[in-house]
Structures are given as structure tokens and as C-alpha cells.
Structure 1
Amino acid sequence: MADDDDYVCNDDVLISTEDLLSSALKLVPTAVEKAKLVKGFQAKWKMIISKLEQIPSRLSDLSCHPCFSKNTLCKEQLQTVSITLKEVIQLAETSIAEKFEGKLQMQSDLDALIGKLDLNLKDCSLLIKTGMLVDVTVPVSIPISISPSPHGNIRELLARLQIGHLESKQKALETLIEIMRDDEKMVFSVLGRSNVAALVQLLTATSPRMREMTVSVLCSLAESGSCENWLISEGILPPLIRLLESGSSFGKEKAVISLQRLSMSPETARSIVGHGGIRPLTEICRFGDSVVQSSAACTLKNISTLPDARQTLADESVVKLMIELLNIGSLLGTKEYAAECLQNLTSTNDSLRKAVISAGGVKSLLDYIDSPFPQEPAIGAVKNLVSLMSIEVLTSMGLIQRLVHVLKSGSPGAQQSAAATVCKICGSIEIKRLMGEAGCIPFLIKMLEGKTYTGREMAAQAISILIVVPQNCREVKKDDKSVPNLVQSLDPSLQNTAKKYAIVCLTAISTSKRCKKGMISYGAIGYLKKLSEMEVVGAKKLLDRLERGKIRSFFSRK
């Protein structure tokens, strides 16, 4: 605004706002009169005159605001307008006397003057229309710690981001960042949409320093999740993507962290694709440091949840990139994002599944599964791929041992995917035998105690497939938890989808007197009666077998 070093000109600190208004209004007719006397550059001077004639009404509107006489922003705006009017008068006199240094220089001076007038008019309108005039009288130079109204001080700083020259905006932004270091939540609590819009506009400032400070504030705002809709609607995505392409290291880091958070929304993720964000994100993954690489991988993972974006990702070589990150990613989180991206890409599309297989993705996924606490994405991706590979190749790569490892040590989601994979690959008696010998059955039985219906269903289904092998059936009979867990899986509620597989398993082990006795003692007959009424396959047959055994046991005691 008026001065680059101070928000309020020192010479005018003691002058009242009303006196500044009167001074500015007196300068307008003089400036118009002088401008009309200029003979050269008529088109530009007509533009200047047109803008000068708008000033009185803008200043009049400004003076009608209740906070006009007390607000430092009003005072500074009047000072700035007066300085511009004096420049108009001076340049007009120079033109009339024809004492200017060449036509090109005069044309440049006129363009600069038109720009200042435009800015003055725009700032007056902003002060009037956007509601930024609050009762704040504390200058920015006073520390926030001694301000009687911290919220008012913050609002003034936010207002300064919308009005004035770049230098004054930069100083306001620097002060705002200092305040945010102490109390970020207080700053966010007073943010309005117009403030967010002003910050987004500053992302395209010519000053690299200004862009870095702005993206730092916007990154914090995006991570807070408090203004996500405003950020998107005010157009934050294109400048963030440009920062990815050509910003400084700091700017790229803050931009990609912002995109990571914003891309959690499917609509925003789709917009990132539409604005050409995939390629710069892949470049960050390839050449960025570990932090930005992880954020870029996460953003691509978020985009991969969109079925209509998956082919676009594949066209940008994201499949090979994610496999590389699985192999050489320096952060565990980066590898997890890569695995999840591959899981999403292979969830529905056979051509993408083949692309992952041909690029060596299965081996990379299996190697990653060897971690001490395997998570769901990697084994989920493997589950998506096994149907397109021969079982001989899969067993030679150590799939069976990895499945047992996941069933033993993986997260609940990973265990569920591992059980589903067991169901997929066990098409032959030989594989069923190998799975049993590898020791998976006790872990599947334990999974029946899980909290989710789907997890229990997958475990029960896998056991029902493996139990057809006599050796595996003996393993189930030997496990002390098999009967109680399988009986609990007979729960007739509609949500329990494991019951039909539990019936198969219990029928298979009902040849054992010990197991049959255990079924009866754990209440299987009551469950089976309800299931028989529901006409669940196999329930009536198992019920009859248990009841006959119960009758024989009764008479043997007699």
C-alpha cells in the first residue's frame, strides 16, 4: 500500500482519517483537469480520466462505513489513493511540458499508473463489499502478544492479503506465519472464504519467496481439513500442480503434501487428473526426497481408487513406478502406498493385472509381505493376480509360505485377504495338502474368533476347502479351538455368512466322537434347528447325526 516499510506513513500518523479523505477528494478534480490537458497518448489518458472519475464515489462509500474513522486500513487506503493522485498530476504536468524521456518510457509510466488506479479502485471495493472492515485500530507493528484484540489483529492481517501492493501483502503474510507458529487454530478460526481466495491468488505471485510463504500457509490449512471445499472452489489445484513442476524444493514439498490431503476426496482426486497432475506426481516419486516421494505416492494411491483414472495412471507408467517404490522406497509408508496403488489398479482390470505380472510385480509384492507385520494392500494385490498365474509358478515363488506368514502375523485385513487367496489357489488336492502341511489350519481356526463377519466367512470357507484332504481334516479335529469356534460360526443371524461353511467343516469332523460330543456341549443342536428351519444346506443332515448320537449316548448310560 502506501509504503513498503511501514503500513502507515509516519508523517500522517497524527492526521485524522477525515482530513485524509478531504485531501484525497480535493486532489481528484485537479488530477482530472491536468489529465484532460495532455495532448499525446490520448487513449491511455482517457482510461486514466475514466478511472479518476470513479474515485469520489468509491471514497464516499468507504467513508459511510461505521468503522471508517477508526480503522487503520481505511487510513492507509486514503494515503495510497492520495499518492496515486499526486503521481497522476505530476505525470500529466510532465506530459504537457513534453519533458518526458522518450515515448516508450512514457507508455510504460502510463501503464504503471493505470495499474495503480485499478488497484486503488479494487481495494476500495474490497474494503466496502467483503466485510473485512472490522473495528481494528492496532497497527501490525505492535506484537500480537500485547494486542488487546488478537482476533481483530489477525483479521487485519488477513485483510492485508487482499489489498495493496505485493510488498505489503508479503509483510502481512510474514507476520501471519509468525502468529501461526504460536496459535495456528486461532488463525484458522477467523478465516473466511475471501481470505482463502486471496491466499490462493498469491500462489501465482511473481515473487518466489511469496509463493513459498503462501503454500506453507495453505498446506497447513489443507492438513487441518477445515476449509477443503473453499480451497478447491477457489482454484488451488492448478497453482499447486505448477509448483510441483517448477517450484523450489520447499514449494514442491508443501504443494505435494497439500495434494496428498486434498486428494482424499474422490472428486478432488478426479480434478487433479483433469488438471494434468499425474505426470508431475510421478516425477516427484522418481526424483524427490523420501518425504515428498511418500506424499506423491499417497496422492497417486488416492487417485487409483477412481476406476476411470486407472488407465490414465497406467499410461503414465505408474505400474512400473509403484513396483520400483516397493523395491527401493526408503520409507515404509511409501511402500505401503505403492502396494495399495497396485491393489487398486488390479482390482477390476485384467490388462492392468497382466501389466503388473509382466513387470515383476508379484515377486516385489511377495518380498514386501515378508515384513514382520504384513498389512492388507500387498496381499490384497497378490489375491487380485493369482488367477492369471500358474500355481506352479506361484508355489515356486514362495506364495504358500507367505500366506501362512500373513495368517499368523498380519493385520486382520491382511489375514482376510490371505484366507481369500487360499480359497482361490486351492483348486487341486496337492495344493490343499501343501497348504495344510505349511501349517495354515491353526491360524484359520483362530480367525473364526475375529470381529468381522467377512473375516470369519473367509476363514470358514478356507477351512471347508482344505478339510477334504484327510490329513487336513485330522489337523482340524486335533485343534482344541476348532469345535467351539465352528459352532459359534453357526449363528443363524443374516449377517453371519460363515454358517454354511461351518456346517461343511463340522460335518467333516463329526465322524470323531470327541468332536461330536463337543458340538453338542457347545450348543450346536440349538443352532442347527434354527438353520434347518431356514433350510440352510447341510443343517438338517448334521442335526440328525448329532441327535442320533445324543440318543445313543443316553441309552448307553442306561
Structure 2
Amino acid sequence: MRKMGNQEDFAGEPNQFKKEEPAGTSNLLRRAAELIATVLSLSLSIRSFATKWQLIRTKLEELHSGLIAADNCDSGENPHLTGILPSVISTAGECRDLARRCSDLSYSGKLLMQSDLDMAIAKLDGHVSTLSEIYKRGILANGSALVVSKPSLGASREDIRFYVRDLLTRMKIGDLGMKKLALRNLYEVVIEDERYVKAVVDVGDVIHVLVGFLSSTDLGIQEESARVVSVIAGFGCYKGNLVNSGVVASLVRVLDCGSEEGKVAAARCLVKLTENSDNAWCVSAHGGVTTLLRICDGDDGGCKGDLVGPACGVLRNLVSVEEIKRFMIEEGAVSTFLRLVRSRDEAIQVNSIGFIQNIASGDELVKQMVIREGGIRALLRVLDPKWSCSYKTREISMRAIQNLFFSPLSSVAALISYGFVDNLLYYVRNGEVSIQELALKVAFRFSGTSEEAKKSMGDAGFMAELVKFLNAKSFEVREMAAETLSGLVMVPKNRKRFVQDDHNIALILQLLDTEEGNSGNKKFLISILMSLTSCNSGRKKIVSSGYAKNIEKLADSQVSSDAKRLAKKLSTNRFRSLFSGIWHS
């Protein structure tokens, strides 16, 4: 880190800057760097002319970093560098004097001091430009090029800014080796600490330099800058800074002709940037949609998912723009992504399913296109327990099926014919908690789509599984199971099957007991019993159950009108004496 001076040194002219010393390049570099560090230290306590001093500090930090970088180079006695150092030392001395006068308010007038500060800024700017030119001309060769040590944990904002400024200088004026090292160090700090990301945005030209590096002919520089930019893009408040610097066009160029690693970083960055649909047009305007479709279309099962996955993710975000969506459809995106749904790579599968859902949602014509091209079978294949897929992918596929194919009735019929009900039942029975609850919710929605859906669920064995959930700990699960079951038993074939198991009716009657705390389900439980009274065997089993008294309790409680209607229905005709006997026994 930089050396900070002692404020006692500022009382008078420090002797070390007066006495004669050898004028070698290395010695002059150290003298200049030490004096600049001293001025930086003093300037931190200045409260007057704050804006001017912020500019001066920025120039001093950049100049200081350049001098340290030069000192790390195998330059020997370099006449070009040696020639500017006396002027740098002189300007730094002037800045030190200005800092002292601003600190103790000993200047003669504000206007004069403002003029002096402006002159100092101009001189410093000239020194930075001259030093930068020396580097660009290749006069200084990179030796060890050691980067300033990374600030310790809990470092001050000023130390962080200084470190980022040092890296910026090396990125601007260093050779390829120095630039790559600076970029790697920058990536390490921004990935660890958000404060460095803020410093990157706040300090000078860092963003512009990074965006410029994306067009570098050196693939290493391109890759390293793409990685840093991708991290910055992960912070919503800084996306605008990147977009305003022209990053989208540069990222599309990397996708077009960059290295494999560079393309991956560029695609990941664009995924984050296109979460805001306003940036979608920018991607399209620079030919990004065509490039991304080409990347996705090139996957034949052997292409790396590291690139295809995020490329799919970008296109998934762009679908929200109607004009771009139409262009993608014309370019054959539907068939491309249905093929990618069959990929073995999770990232590709997840983004492909998301793309299909987004492009077909709310658009009946596109939905029919998806069905014609095998979309239902492709998504059901993900749910097939025989295929190896992650639970995350299965959940996303299940949601997509629910959102796209539960209407019209022709889609529901296709789902039934392709075995959707059996797959759904498998996850209700055997899935992990998250997918099991999702499967139950999907089953509830599916049961309400058509009479055929209810019949197929009854044939598959859904009712026995739903009965098990009537006693679940979760109120939501209990209620969903009861409501789904109440819909299924409205179908005569399902009702006959349900009453064949005496345990089913006994459990429902038992759960009607007000002392068991299942009052939230009672409406649906009574609805189930009302349906069962439509068949003689159902009525007989209800009135002969040992728990039939619970219906009387509910009817007498004046709480449930549904219970009164059920009791009245059970008390008619030839069941009246039997039911009355049970009530009063």
C-alpha cells in the first residue's frame, strides 16, 4: 500500500527534497512517489474546495500508480522517464503547499485559490498523459510488475479506491502481462466484496477501459474483462453504467468471434443485463439474436452446456419483446428449443423449458405449434421417472405443462393419452417434499380441467393417495387434498370405487370431529359425503359407521348448514330409523 506521511512534515519545507541526491531514474521515482503519498495523506483532512481536491486526489492516485508501476519495470536509466520526473516532483511540491494552505485556511482569497487549484489539476493531468504516452510507446518494459497489495479485510473506502485506481493505471498503461495481472486482481476483489464493485463504478474510466478490452485482439484480455463485467452486471444498480458505456455491442462481438471462455462470460453477462427488457432491443440491434440462435442451434448433444445454457437464458429473456419473439419463431426457435429440452445438461434443460413456456404463454397459435412439434412429449419425457433429470428440472417442466396445456380440452386429452396422469401420481407418491407438494397442486388444477381428467385420475389410483393427505400436518395440503377428492367423487365411476374401501368413509367421518381441529376442511369433507349419498352403498356405509355421530354434532352446532343438509338427506325414507337409532344410541 501507499506510504502515508506525517502531518508534522508539513510545517516547513522537508529537507529531503532540498538536498542534492543522485538524479538516477529509480531515485527520482521514489522521491516523486513518496511526495505524492504525502500530499494524498494531507488532502484527506481538507474540507474546503472539496470538489477540486477530489479531482486532485484522483489525478495524484493515478500518477502515483503509474510511478509505482514504472519502478517495477526493467527500465534502467531511462532518459524519457527521467526527463519528466523533476516536473512531477515540482508539481507535487506545489500541491503539498496548496494542501497546507487549504488545511489551515491561510490562503489570501477564494478566487485566487480556485485558480491555483485549477492550474494544479491541469499540470497533473499533463503528467498523467505524458506517462501514459511513454508506456504506450513501449519505452518501459514490464519486469516483475508487482501489483500493489490488496487492502486487508475492513479496509477504508479510500484504500479500496486507491487499490482500484492502481489497477486502472496498470490496465491503461501496462503491457499485456501487466494488464492481465491487473484484470485478474480486479476480478478477485469484485467477486469477494461489493465495495470494490462500487469503487469500479465510481473511479474514473474503469468501466470504459473494461468495455474497451472486450474488443481486444488478445483473447486473454478479452476473457478477463468479460469475467469482471459479468460480476458487475449482477448488481442491478450498476447495470445502467455498463449499458451506457456500450457494453452490449461489445458483448455481442465477443459472442460472435471471441474465445470459448470469453463467449461463456459474455453470455452470462447478457443474461443478467436482459432481465430488464429495455436492454433487449440493444441486443437485437447489434445482431445478438441471430448469434445466440446460431449458438443454440449448434448444440448436437456434444456442445458444451457452459455456453449453450446461458445463451438459452438470454433468448428466454428476449422473448418478452413481441417483435423479437416473432423473429425467433420465423427462425425456427421453437423446434430448436424443443430439441434442447432433451439435453442432458441441467442449465440447458431449465432455460429451454423456460423459453418454450415464455414464447407460448398467452399465444394460442404458438402453443399449437409447440404441440405439433412434440412439445407435450418433450416435457413429459422430463417427468418420466425412467429418465435421469434433476428435481429442479422436473419441477420446472411440471409448471410449464400446467401453464401451457391445461386448456383447451384437446391439450388435456393429449396429456392423458401420453401418460401424464401416471407420471403425476408417481411424484405425489414418491417425490421429495417440494416436488410432492407441487405435484399435489398440479393434480388439483388438472382435476378441474375436464370430466375425462377426473376419470383418468380415478382410474390411476389418485383417490387412495389423496385420502392419505387428509391427515397431513400442513393445512394447505389437507385442504387441497380434500377439495381435489370432492371433485373426483362427483364422477359416478370414481364414487363407486371410493366407497368400496370402508376405511375411506370412516376416516372422513372421523375428521369431521370438531375436537380434531380440522374445521378448515369440513366444507370439502361434507361435500365428499354428499356425493357418496348418491349411491345406496355409500349411504349405508355412512350411517353404519361408528363415526356417523359426528354429522349430528355438526348439524346441532348451528355452525355448518352443509352438515344439516347432509343429515337431512341421510334421514329420509328407509334410512331414517337406522340413522335416528345411531344418533340416540
Q: Summarize the Cα distance change of 1:242–1:415 in structure 2 as closer, same or farther, 3 Å threshold.
A: farther
SS of equivalent to 1:375: helix
Distance across 2 between alignment mates of 1:444 and 1:277: 49
Matches of 1:75 and 1:470, distance apart in 2: 86
Contact 2:512–2:551, Cα closer than 8 Å, also in 1: no
- Name the structure 2 match of 1:404: 425
Is 1:291 the counterpart of 2:306? The answer is yes
Measured at CA, do residues 17 and 505 of structure 1 come closer, stay the same or move farther in structure 2, by a change above 3 Å? same
Structure 2 gaps, min length 5 = 1-23, 37-51, 71-78, 85-121, 133-143, 534-538
| Deviation of 1:66 (Å) | 6.4
Superposition map of 1:159-558 within 5 A: 159-160=165-166, 162=168, 166-168=172-174, 171-172=178-179, 174-178=181-185, 180-181=187-188, 184-186=191-193, 188-189=195-196, 191-192=198-199, 193-195=201-203, 197-198=207-208, 199-223=210-234, 227-228=238-239, 230-265=241-276, 272=283, 276-287=287-298, 288-304=303-319, 310-327=325-342, 329-371=343-385, 373=391, 375-383=394-402, 384-385=404-405, 387-388=407-408, 389=410, 393-410=414-431, 411=435, 412-424=437-449, 426-428=450-452, 432-446=454-468, 449=472, 451=474, 453=476, 459-477=481-499, 478=501, 480=504, 482=508, 502-509=525-532, 511=539, 512-513=541-542, 518=547, 521=550, 525=554, 529-530=558-559, 532=561, 541-542=565-566, 544=568, 552=580, 556-557=584-585
Alpha-carbon separation, structure 2, partners of 1:64 and 1:343? 52
Q: Aligned-pair distance for 1:322?
A: 1.7
1:144–1:255 CA distance, 2 compared to 1 (3 A):
same
Q: Distance in 1 between matches of 2:547 and 2:127?
A: 84
CA contact (8 A) 1:219 1:255 kept: yes
Q: Provide the C-alpha distance between the structure 2 equivalents of 1:485 and 1:122, rounded to a whole number of angstroms.
A: 86
The separation in 1 between residues aligned to 2:220 and 2:465, in whole angstroms, is: 57
Residues in 2 aligned to 1:267 and 1:336: alpha-carbon distance in whole angstroms: 24
* Aligned partner letter, 1:507: M
The separation in 2 between residues aligned to 1:189 and 1:524, in whole angstroms, is: 68
Amino acid at match of 1:247: G
CA separation in 1, counterparts of 2:268 and 2:58? 40
Maintained 8 Å contact 1:263/1:302: yes
Q: Which amino acid aligns with 1:436?
A: G
Of 141, 146, 149, the residue aligned with 1:141 is: 146
Q: Deviations over 1:32-84 (max 9, x none)?
A: xxxxxxxxxxxxxxxxxxxxxxxxxxxxx78994698788538749x9xx969
Q: More displaced, 511-520 or 399-408? A: 511-520
Equivalent residues, number = 453
Q: Summarize the Cα distance change of 1:397–1:9 in structure 2 as closer, same or farther, 3 Å threshold.
A: farther
Contact 1:157/1:172 (8 A) holds in 2: no
* Alpha-carbon separation, structure 2, partners of 1:223 and 1:62: 32
Distance (whole Å) between structure 1 residues aligned to residue 509 and residue 556 of structure 2: 14
RMSD value, Cα: 5.1
Secondary structure of 2:448's counterpart equals helix
Counterparts of 1:486 and 1:405 in 2: how far apart (Å)? Answer: 29
2:38 aligned with 1:16: no
Secondary structure at the aligned position of 1:371 is classed as: coil
In the superposition, relative to structure 1, how do residues 69 and 273 fare at CA in structure 2: closer, same or farther (>3 Å)? closer
Letter of the 2:146 partner, please give it. S
**Partner AA of 1:315 in structure 2:** E
Q: Which amino acid aligns with 2:529?
A: L
- Cα distance in 1 for residues equivalent to 2:475 and 2:248: 39
Counterparts of 1:165 and 1:83, CA distance in 2: 21
Give me the identity figure in percent: 20
Counterpart Cα distance in 1 of 2:31 and 2:215 = 36
Pairwise CA distance, 1:350: 0.3
- Equivalent AA in structure 2 for residue 359 of structure 1: E
For 2:482 and 2:426, how far apart are their aligned partners in 1?
A: 18
Distance 2:82 2:552 in 1: 94
- TM-score with structure 1 setting the length: 0.64
Displacement of 1:124 in angstroms is 6.9
Which residue of structure 2 aligns with residue 110 of structure 1? none
* Counterpart code for 2:428: L
- Once residues 511 and 292 of structure 2 are traced to their aligned partners in structure 1, the CA distance between those partners, rounded to angstroms, is 48
CA displacement 1:233-266 (0-9 Å, x = unmatched)? 5443332222212211110011112233444455
CA 469–502 in structure 1, closer or farther in 2 if over 3 Å, else same: same
Change (3 A) 1:320 1:156: same
**CA gap 1:445/1:265 in 2 versus in 1, 3 angstroms:** farther
Q: Flag the 1:181–1:220 CA change in 2: closer, same or farther, 3 A.
A: same
Would the alpha carbon gap of residues 144 and 293 (structure 1) be closer, same or farther in structure 2, given more than 3 Å must change? same
Residue 451 of structure 2 aligns to a residue whose secondary structure is: coil
**Aligned partners of 2:550 and 2:490: how far apart in 1?**
25
Range that drifts further, 363-372 or 273-282: 273-282
- Contact preservation (8 Å) 2:510, 2:550: no
For residues 362 and 64 of structure 1, what CA distance do their matches in structure 2 show?
62
CA offsets per residue over residues 417-465 of structure 1, 9 Å max, x none?
24322332x334xx64443121122333445548585x76664454233
Describe the shift of the 1:386–1:450 C-alpha distance in structure 2 as closer, same or farther (beyond 3 A): farther
Matches of residues 104-123 of structure 1 in structure 2 within 5 Å? none
CA 1:531–1:370: 2 relative to 1, 3 Å = same
Q: Which moved more, 1:67-76 or 1:455-464?
A: 67-76
